[in-house]
Amino acid sequence: MVAELWPGVPAEWSRRVRVPSTAAVDPAGTVHTWHLLDNGPELAGRGVEPEGTLLCVHGNPTWSYLWRSLLAAASQRSKPWRVVAVDHLDMGFSPRTGRFRRLADRITDLGDLTAELGLEGPVVTVGHDWGGVISLGWALRHRSQLAGIVLNNTAVHPAGFDLPAALKLALHPAVHQWGTTTSPAFLRVTHALARPALPKDVRRAFMAPYLTAARRSGVGNFVADIPADPSAPSWPALTEVAEGIRGLDVPALLLWGPQDPVFSDRYLRDLLQRLPHADVHRFEGAGHLLPEDRDIASPVFGWLDMQPAGSSQTPEAVPGPDAVAQPSTPQVPYRPMLAELEARRTDSSPAVVDMAPLNAPAAGPRTLSWAELAGQVELLAAGLAAQGVREGHRINLLVPPGIELTSLIYACLKLGAVVVVADAGLGTAGLSRAIKGAGPDFIVGIERALAGARMLNWPGRRISVAELPQAKRRLYGVEATLAELLAAGAAEGSRPDAAGAWAPDPDADAAILFTSGSTGPAKGVVYTHRQLAAMRDTLKDTYKLEAGTALVAGFAPFALLGPALGATSVTPDMDVTAPRTLTAAALADAAAAVQATAVFASPAALANVLATAGELAPEQRAALEKVELLLSAGAPIPEPLLARVQQLLPAASLHTPYGMTEALPVTDISLAGIRAAGTGNGVCVGTPVVGVRVAIAALDASGLPASEPSAAPGTTGEILVSAPHVKDRYDRLWITQTQSASVPGWHRTGDVGHLDAEGRLWVEGRLAHIITTAGGVVTPVAAEQAAETHDGVRLAAVVGVGPEGAQVPVAVVETVPPVRKAGPALGGLAREVRNAVVQAAGLELAAVLTVPQLPTDIRHNSKIDRARLARWAEGALAGGKMGTP
């Protein structure tokens, strides 16, 4: 057994090194005996030559113990890295020097240590808290050795902000000495920031070097040296580092805990301005002590393997007999998103119709012609430019679909600004996470959104869509209104050098669209201008959407594509972020307003349309009878519901495209196609649309997907997609993006399914929702469909309960009529549901539970939160309170 000094730290890692000091604060000839954790001697004893060295620098009030996970992981690799985790002088188990060491001294100290250790290249610095600044200072002085930088929650400059409240308090003369040195308060508060809480033995280990006031002198001095303003002694050193890193072109990885009350996302945004090439991953829910909150070792070493100098690359898999060759994304001719709008600048026919205009909903529909829309977009683009919006700036638009939002989006695209689309359908908490994660430079919103921005401290300069009283403008921090942008745009347009022919790089970022959040925190999906144009072209070519089409956009993702397609579009009188608010009358009135030939609506919206169809007047039914195409996406739609929709829209061809925020559409199927496919293991979503390739990464017995794509019929696995309109990347989620692109040339969707002999794709569920039983892997959708054939079941979810590899399937159903309280299924319902599932899917259910309502996502109102249900069912079956899932 290996003896441990502290939990997770073998005694052999701990060493002391005598280091001559060259720091200005020390007299000539001073030698300090540093303490560090170092796996170098261990590797040397094994005769292993490391790939390089990770130089890990802690902040205040931690010590080298913070980096034990990197040390452990580095030593276990087939091609290990040396990890040198230092204890600063006056910190950890290094000596107390009796001298006040400032930032410049500490950078020099670190250089003295590495010189004594004889560190050569490649060296990758790893820093946290104020150790981040020190590590970067070392990096700037040792560029010839530097191979990369890794940073965890840190800051290199106040960046125009006040110091965080916690640090202000720690610096206050009435608090500083007691809070940081006399008592262990500063340490205890820092340790309490861990998410989840630190185990007792780990807390004791972090406290071990700081048990007396004398041992805490460095903690107090570290805080006292914080350069809060230009008058601080360490301000010049901080500025030198902050400006110097702008010239660092080595690979950089920023790992961040957004719940940090000290180094919040605003400091991450500042770092990204200085290191724009950096890879970033934000760990939602994690905080200041990120290396304790999350596994950082796996992403750090995974990232190192992917760097050009890394030699620990995974060998390429040998393709199997059914493997699909790595696809090359075809370079289709690029036509800008504004091309159709620009081509119709003199067209007086309707382009956009608002059934409930934002500023005057009671006044009835408002129409903008193509010429008027083009003019408004031009003015808004010039007005935004006059307000300081530049190419690449992120603009969060918190505006309901309609003329204002359409105009703003196309103005941003024209200007080259990046549109951030995160709607209220994510819920307040989800929306706030999304906006803070995206870090917009500007927020344009309605009053409710601006109030939320102030209350929740969202980043970005603020622009109001509506006119506001001066008091509210000051309260919300509003710098301009939409009317003022238009006026400024008109003034700019009179200048000889006025902007008007903007042409953003086709491969520059154009939009960040957030996922629904139904499978975890919503993710920002980045599209370039070329990829957005490819999405438009795919829809156009697949469904023949073009000039002359008149569409009703009752589904948020499609509410803004009309002008790009050249189609006249109308937004119904509904809350597009809450699909169930679409009534049959609202749909019919919108259709009548433009003589609609096409309708986009989500499954939840269609369900409510059918529920309210009895209220339609004859002329409203007549308007719906003229619709030629209906598209519904967002979740699978049962054939019986589509059949009822067909009765309401008798002339329409009904289609249910399958896709996701990262790639829409992927496949398509019509009502006739659904009927022809019949029943099977999952939901048949049809064949790939124009320009799309689909493959399967087969699942092994433990439910893990293979690393190579296959087109073999009947193989169940993760669905892979390749197409010109697949997203560019996930925003500030480097780990998620790396996983999604781990099969070269393909996007891993996270959905599970199979291809049949006719090339049709069947979706069997989500990768996260598969059930790993003792008999093998089970996908849930076929069983759920079987349960829903029972007249008493409106909706069903089948989840796994128990440990991985020995899970049992449990059905949780929403009944007709709904039960009042959750509990076991009563009467013959459980028996009949079990029998239906066995007959249709060959699956034995361990239990059938009923709930008043299954939890669904907010945006689509139709995606069931199976992870939440599984946790609830496990607790309920273990004898806990049923409650509500």
Q: List pLDDT tens digits, range 732-763.
A: 999 999 999 999 999 999 999 999 999 999 99
Question: Is residue 287 domain-shared with residue 245, that is, in the same domain?
Answer: yes
Question: Is residue 175 domain-shared with residue 100, that is, in the same domain?
Answer: yes
* pLDDT tens for each residue of 817-830: 999 999 899 889 99
Q: Which of 119-123, 210-214, 318-322, 341-345 has the lowest mean pLDDT?
A: 318-322
- Please tell me the predicted confidence (pLDDT) of residue 359: 73
Q: Dihedral (C-alpha) 67, 70, 75, 80: value to the nearest 10 degrees?
A: -130
- Please tell me the predicted confidence (pLDDT) of residue 861: 45
Task: Give phi and psi for 42, each to the nearest 5.
Answer: -60, -45
Cα distance between residue 186 and residue 188, in whole Å? 6
Inform me whether the pLDDT recorded for 369 exceeds 60.
Answer: yes
Question: Is residue 84 domain-shared with residue 124, that is, in the same domain?
Answer: yes
- Please tell me the predicted confidence (pLDDT) of residue 176: 77
Question: Is residue 491 domain-shared with residue 417, that is, in the same domain?
Answer: yes
Question: Is residue 48 domain-shared with residue 175, that is, in the same domain?
Answer: yes
Q: Give the tokens for residue 54.
A: 């990770």
At 499, the pLDDT band (50, 70, 90 cuts) reads very low
Question: Is residue 41 domain-shared with residue 121, that is, in the same domain?
Answer: yes
Residue that finishes a domain, picked among 634, 656, 678: 656
> Taking the CB of residue 695, how many other CB atoms lie within 10 A of it?
25
Question: Is residue 728 domain-shared with residue 833, that is, in the same domain?
Answer: no
Is 530 within the bounds of a domain?
no
Considering only residues 868 and 63, tell me which one the structure prediction assigns the higher pLDDT: 63
Is 347 within the bounds of a domain?
no
Q: Which amino acid is at 607?
A: A
Per-chain mean pLDDT for the chain? 91
- Please tell me the predicted confidence (pLDDT) of residue 690: 93
Residue labelled with tokens 């105009």: 407
Mean pLDDT calculated for residue range 326-351: 87
Percentage of the residues of the chain whose pLDDT score is greater than 70: 93
* pLDDT tens for each residue of 390-408: 999 999 999 988 899 999 9
Question: Is residue 103 domain-shared with residue 223, that is, in the same domain?
Answer: yes
- Please tell me the predicted confidence (pLDDT) of residue 546: 86
Cα distance between residue 76 and residue 69, in whole Å? 11
> Taking the CB of residue 173, how many other CB atoms lie within 10 A of it?
6
Q: Are 77 and 312 in contact (CB under 8 A)?
A: yes
Could you list the residue range(s) of the whole structural domain that residue 264 is in? 4-306
Cα distance between residue 196 and residue 761, in whole Å? 41
- Please tell me the predicted confidence (pLDDT) of residue 316: 42
Query: Closest Cα partner for 19 from 30, 8, 3, 4?
Result: 30
* pLDDT tens for each residue of 422-466: 877 788 899 999 999 999 999 999 999 999 999 999 999 999 999
Percentage of the residues of the chain whose pLDDT score is greater than 90: 77
* pLDDT tens for each residue of 310-334: 433 333 444 555 667 667 656 678 9
Question: Is residue 213 domain-shared with residue 177, that is, in the same domain?
Answer: yes
Q: Are 852 and 820 in contact (CB under 8 A)?
A: yes
Q: Which of 38-52, 145-159, 165-179, 565-579 has the lowest mean pLDDT?
A: 165-179
443: helix, coil or strand? strand
At 885, the pLDDT band (50, 70, 90 cuts) reads confident
Mean pLDDT calculated for residue range 605-618: 95
> Taking the CB of residue 155, how many other CB atoms lie within 10 A of it?
25
Q: Are 803 and 793 in contact (CB under 8 A)?
A: no
Question: Is residue 17 domain-shared with residue 40, that is, in the same domain?
Answer: yes
Q: Which of 158-172, 560-574, 848-862 has the lowest mean pLDDT?
A: 158-172
Is 53 within the bounds of a domain?
yes
Cα distance between residue 45 and residue 47, in whole Å? 5
Q: Are 516 and 859 in contact (CB under 8 A)?
A: yes
Cα distance between residue 585 and residue 590, in whole Å? 9
Cα distance between residue 75 and residue 37, in whole Å? 13
- What strand order describes the sheet that includes 461-464? 478-481, 461-464, 442-445, 394-398, 418-421, 509-514, 524-528, 729-730
- Tell me the H-state helices in 616-733: 618-624, 639-648, 671-677
Q: Which of 128-137, 483-492, 558-567, 701-710 has the lowest mean pLDDT?
A: 558-567
- Please tell me the predicted confidence (pLDDT) of residue 2: 62
Q: What is the CATH number of the domain that holds 212?
A: 3.40.50.1820
Q: Number of folded domains in the chain? A: 5
Is 514 within the bounds of a domain?
no
Bridge-partner residues for 601, per DSSP?
554
Q: Are 463 and 480 in contact (CB under 8 A)?
A: yes
- Please tell me the predicted confidence (pLDDT) of residue 560: 76
Inform me whether the pLDDT recorded for 472 exceeds 80.
Answer: yes
Is 351 within the bounds of a domain?
no
DSSP code, position 741:
T
Inform me whether the pLDDT recorded for 851 exceeds 90.
Answer: yes
Is 34 within the bounds of a domain?
yes
**Which residues, 6 or more positions from 251, have their beta carbon under 8 angstroms from its beta carbon?**
147, 148, 149, 277, 279, 303, 307
Q: What is the CATH number of the domain that holds 839?
A: 3.30.300.30
* pLDDT tens for each residue of 568-609: 999 899 887 778 889 999 999 999 999 999 999 988 899 999
* pLDDT tens for each residue of 81-91: 999 999 999 99
Cα distance between residue 610 and residue 601, in whole Å? 12
Q: Are 519 and 768 in contact (CB under 8 A)?
A: yes
Inform me whether the pLDDT recorded for 494 exceeds 70.
Answer: no
Mean pLDDT calculated for residue range 268-275: 95
- Please tell me the predicted confidence (pLDDT) of residue 592: 96
pTM value? 0.92
The bridge status of strand 146-152 relative to strand 252-256 is parallel
Residue that finishes a domain, picked among 721, 748, 768: 768
Mean pLDDT calculated for residue range 177-197: 93
- Please tell me the predicted confidence (pLDDT) of residue 867: 84
Is 406 within the bounds of a domain?
yes
Question: Is residue 592 domain-shared with residue 582, that is, in the same domain?
Answer: yes
Inform me whether the pLDDT recorded for 567 exceeds 50.
Answer: yes
Residue that finishes a domain, picked among 739, 768, 797: 768
Cα distance between residue 336 and residue 355, in whole Å? 28
Cα distance between residue 311 and residue 314, in whole Å? 9
Classify residue 28 as exposed, middle or buried by CB count within 10 Å of its CB (0-12, 13-18, 19+). exposed
Is 337 within the bounds of a domain?
no
* pLDDT tens for each residue of 785-813: 999 999 999 899 999 999 988 999 999 99
- Please tell me the predicted confidence (pLDDT) of residue 859: 47
Question: Is residue 731 domain-shared with residue 797, that is, in the same domain?
Answer: no
At 358, the pLDDT band (50, 70, 90 cuts) reads confident
At 293, the pLDDT band (50, 70, 90 cuts) reads very high
- Please tell me the predicted confidence (pLDDT) of residue 507: 97
- Please tell me the predicted confidence (pLDDT) of residue 314: 37
- Please tell me the predicted confidence (pLDDT) of residue 49: 92
596: helix, coil or strand? coil
Considering only residues 880 and 120, tell me which one the structure prediction assigns the higher pLDDT: 120
Q: What is the CATH number of the domain that holds 622?
A: 3.40.50.980
At 165, the pLDDT band (50, 70, 90 cuts) reads low
Q: Which of 155-164, 222-231, 379-388, 702-711 has the lowest mean pLDDT?
A: 155-164
